[in-house]
Structure 1
Amino acid sequence: MFSLEKLDKHIAECRKYVEAGTEKQSVLDMCVALRHDLVNATEDDWAAYNELTDHLPSENDDPALIILKGQLLIER
């Protein structure tokens, strides 16, 4: 289950990667923007977001599968 606490950990880790030069600043900016959006999320928003993250394939799966499944989940 996704939470602000988990996102904060990811942001801190991403910040270290950006500082080390192994990650792009845009990735960190996206994570920070997501956190900003989720601060005021309702229970329904969290339920929808967790459903999406629960059903999306792993980042190690075929990119086409991730895109197609993500599109189907968003349309739903």
Structure 2
Amino acid sequence: MLKGLVIVCANGCFSSMTEANSKVKALLAGRKARQCCELLVLESALGKGGAPWDFQRGSDFSNVDPFAFIVLA
């Protein structure tokens, strides 16, 4: 069973984290979905429209971490 779910949004995709949370809550509206797991919504440190990552770039540790995030309160 899924215990935790992390959603990383593109930087600038939402005007605020409150807006992002409200959009994601609609996905977990069902009773079973609410009970399934812990949810964390984050914003990527990379700009919107950045290049997609592939295995070669993902395994090159000299690149900026594509999963780095900035938490906005």
Superposition TM-score, scaled by structure 2 size:
0.36
Identify which of structures 1 and 2 has the higher relative contact order when contacts are C-alpha pairs closer than 8 Å and 6+ apart: 2
- TM-score norm. by structure 1 comes to 0.35
The structure richer in helix per residue is 1
Is the strand fraction higher in 1 or 2? 2
